[in-house]
A and B are shown apart, each in its own frame.
Chain A
């Protein structure tokens, strides 16, 4: 048989754990408080670190005086983070780091530092429509510009285009070419070098319009139905329940032990080595559990780096720097906003013909992300014109937020299409089916999922045209949306050891974000070795174990499952080699089933796992599994999901209540069904939160966040989420391999809920979150009141 075939997963009916419901292996530890997080590292002699932060949203540091703080008893180390002359781009940015013997002392020391600032003009509001007549910036790109673009997830193709057209102001060798995507590095190397142009600071950075076909003509074509609308959603934060932070200590003069709360354990040493001045090999990162990251915890950040620097200055004592709730919300990550005026056109039969949008949004000082509008259908809409203006402002730094740019693009697109369906007099489900080929390669998946969602929600039975006619102020409605995501597994490696006494150990340097990674690894290994998960010890969360990629982009499950499968198959086959002679058979004829190594089809010719392992002699079997990246048939990319929402709206009070959400989700071969479902439940709750509650509210005068707390930065509570129904498309697409799931189900809730509210009350509420203020304003406008 071809060498690769032996790694393929067996069919569903021959699997015990993979694709089935298996309890979360760390559920007990987490629910009883035994699970340890970065916050829980309290070594002897622990020092507490804290930052002096800028109270201004935009300023230049003139002078820093730390002498009072340094004199305070209990203060062990002071480090300047940003020197005089530095420019500050958001309120709360770090200026000085201090470590002291306890929290009250370090807080006092922070207050004792005197910093003089020159205040500069700031902008923190982003919802106002930018002027349409600003010419795109054609000046050559500096290194900072490229960093901003990368941080804002500007698509590679767009970056390459801009580099080619605008040229660069630096020498290619000055750029971190090895850390750039290959296409961008190539473009940088061949780009024209030009002198830097002095540019006045600009709040708006328009990108060149992108077009296909002839949008103007398509809108003027006879017999087309046109819908126009404004849609958008504000900057929100990640609001990790375990705030960002780190504990670092020098175990000797040139070895650093870090506990950074991170989504990328294997990547921490490499990101810290240069700044702390030791080889990456001398840095060990350990993290057992993480309490939420959502895309905001890939780097060591200033708290990781300065806990290490302060520790060094303090003689190596461990320094804990955990952000407060207010710091978490102010500086540890913003999801870019997105707003757009949209025009869409369809033929009377519902076939979409044209899209025209003018959009804008902010990702903070680096400008805005560029959401892939129109979502799902972009390259297949016959005619479009897409304009996007990044708003450069001082609201705080953007970070990847679960499915970067997709929830924004999805809301803007699906709301616009839902409005068009209404104008066409069509049931949105029929409208989406009519245009399904525009979704491209996943069209068949959506078509498979539609009837499942329809059945679970009772859509066809219960859907009514826009505007619930039931008397009384409570109106009920249904809405839907659909989404996709890549999710190919990242690079990941696995060491699996079988000892002669039958015990099995797996070592992987991956992290479990609470997504069920540990459970999934054990499901794969247990299935392959014919054991129970309890018979296998999984060691993880440490850079001493084989590397694994960062848990971002829904890449973990593909990466770790393939590495584990490969290590497990190789170890099992090595065991078969030793055992076959004993059973009077050949290795190819052996199988492992329920703790027995036996000859296929001959139950009498069997050894227990323990007996079989005893035949190994004194030498353990060790297998190293490594996935094959882009050419690995065990994993794949590209999922489809459909969601439906059932809401009630109190039209007098403007309050939206979720009655029920249905999520139907594909992720290729499902590895761990129960934790996969949990991912979807969590995504629905997170989606309900951003649909109804979340907004980073900024004060225009001070440039500060007004709700850096959980009283007014609201998240959904148990009473707010209604009934959640999740259906995984199990055993339907197993042949496609394992695909990531973390991100996709959080993309659609905002759109589905917004559409359901429009269906209930008869009018679109343009912006998320769907607060009473916005719902009442939309209803008032419908009635012709002045808002």
Chain B
């Protein structure tokens, strides 16, 4: 076992003081559902692990007067599913979180950790690096098996996909983040939090190595119709192949404005202006939703093994839109299995 120092601060301020200004020296432990596996596999080898589970003030779900919500970074996924305020005001969020991972993981994993979880890229997880290179300097992902890799934002050197199934929906809802650092607090839109790293020394987000995510701020979703759709091969406990989250403001039966965010398709959650424009001022039906799906992937660029993901991303956008307005979509898990046979 590689020796590391383990510290358990009780305040944000104390925690910040224990974090190194360099990535890799220190790692933050909350639920541990991602970090511990990465350490056991020697993918991460921090010199110090800072346990923030005992940091006070980060474990509350607060309702705002206008119906908005503030979710502390240490709130577990399970508590989000159970929270009455979330179920009432963000039903799509409660459902999406309930569908994430397994019961055991939801009981441990925190929402802050969900935002900061590392990519599931099999090159990264097998210790070949986040931006793995062949001996002659090419990308191992481009040269190798990229069936689960990016179809957007894949100009290189990053080809992994953003793993969270929850984040796209939070972005669609217009979530913002509070981040604590040595120089005080800052706030930024969740979509600006994610970045495509240009080198192995960078991470997948805007956090500095000695900053902490403290809170997620959700604006009121009154009048918003939202949905998240995941294309998964297995019925449960499976990483999706493509996801789409939508949040719509309606004017009568027409879409006044739309936020459409795809997951598992790019190194960052992928906000699609094209899809949003395609559906603006339109009534959502099979045709308009299909057109929005097609628009969403119009600029996709597949790698050698992942062309199918372009189709799946379009399907995810289409079905998320239909679900958001209460229409049924094909569902293999229910009795609706087609006639025919």
Contacts and interface: CB of A to CB of B under 8 A. Distances in A.
B308 A700 contact: no
Contact of A472 (B123, B241, B338): B338
From A699, A711, A716, residue with most partner B Cβ within 10 Å: A699
A760 B341 contact: yes
A108 B1 contact: yes
Secondary structure at the B interface, as helix, strand, loop or mixed, is loop
Interface string A693-737: 100011111101011110110101101100000000000000000
A477 B339 CA distance: 9
Interface in A640-658: 646, 648, 650, 652-655, 657
A185 B173 CA distance: 74
B238 A714 contact: yes
A654 B312 contact: yes
Given A108-B1, A707-B122, A717-B236, A653 B340 contact: no
Contact of A474 (B1, B143, B330): B330
A476 interface: yes
Given A719-B236, A772-B233, 12 more contacts: A105-B1, A463-B341, A469-B340, A653-B330, A657-B332, A706-B144, A707-B122, A708-B126, A717-B234, A719-B234, A773-B147, A776-B308
Interface of A: 104-105, 107-108, 111, 462-464, 468-470, 472-478, 646, 648, 650, 652-655, 657, 659, 692-693, 697-702, 704, 706-709, 711-712, 714, 716-717, 719-720, 759-760, 771-773, 776-777, 787
A708 B333 CA distance: 28
Contacts of B2: 108
Contacts of A470: 338-340
11 contacts: A111-B42, A472-B338, A474-B336, A474-B338, A476-B340, A477-B340, A650-B330, A652-B311, A700-B143, A717-B234, A777-B308
Contacts of B338: 468, 470, 472, 474-476, 648, 760
Given A692-B233, A700-B143, A772 B308 contact: yes
Contacts of A464: 340-341
Nearest to B238: A714
Given A472-B338, A714-B238, A760-B341, A772 B312 contact: yes
B140 interface: yes
8 nearest A-B pairs in the assembled complex, by CB-CB distance? A719-B235, A468-B340, A104-B1, A474-B338, A657-B332, A648-B337, A476-B341, A773-B308
A653 B145 contact: no
A699 B339 contact: no
A545 to B, nearest CB: 40
Contact of A704 (B126, B234, B308): B126
Interface string B86-125: 0000000000000000000000000000000000101101
Nearest to B140: A701
Interface string B292-323: 00000000000001111001100100000000
Given A473-B330, A655-B231, A706-B122, A699 B147 contact: no
Contacts of A104: 1
Size class of B's contact patch? 35 or more
Interface of B: 1-2, 42, 120, 122-123, 125-126, 128, 134-135, 140, 143-145, 147-148, 231, 233-239, 241, 305-308, 311-312, 315, 330, 332-333, 336-341
B235 A699 contact: no
A304 B333 CA distance: 44
Contacts of A720: 234-235
A787 B135 CA distance: 30
Nearest to A467: B340
B339 A717 contact: no
B308 A654 contact: yes
Contacts of A699: 123, 128, 140, 144-145
Contacts of B134: 701
B39 to A, nearest CB: 12
Nearest to A457: B341
A693 B315 contact: no
A648 B233 CA distance: 13
B129 to A, nearest CB: 11
Contacts of B1: 104-105, 107-108
A701 B144 contact: yes
B341 A478 contact: yes
Given A107-B1, A472-B338, A760-B341, A652 B315 contact: yes
Given A693-B233, A711-B239, A476 B307 contact: no
A474 to B, nearest CB: 4
A659 B315 contact: no
Of listed B120, B135, B147, B341, residue having the most chain A CB within 10 A: B341
Most chain B CB within 10 A, of A104, A473, A659, A772, is at A772
A655 B233 contact: yes
Contacts of B308: 654, 772-773, 776-777
Contacts of A468: 338-341
Nearest to B134: A701
A711 B124 CA distance: 14
A653 B333 CA distance: 13
Given A699-B123, A701-B134, A701-B143, A659 B311 contact: no
A468 B341 CA distance: 7
A772 B230 CA distance: 13
A771 B339 contact: no
A477 B147 CA distance: 27
A772 B241 contact: yes
Contacts of A654: 308, 311-312
Contact of B123 (A478, A706, A716, A719): A706
A708 B122 CA distance: 9
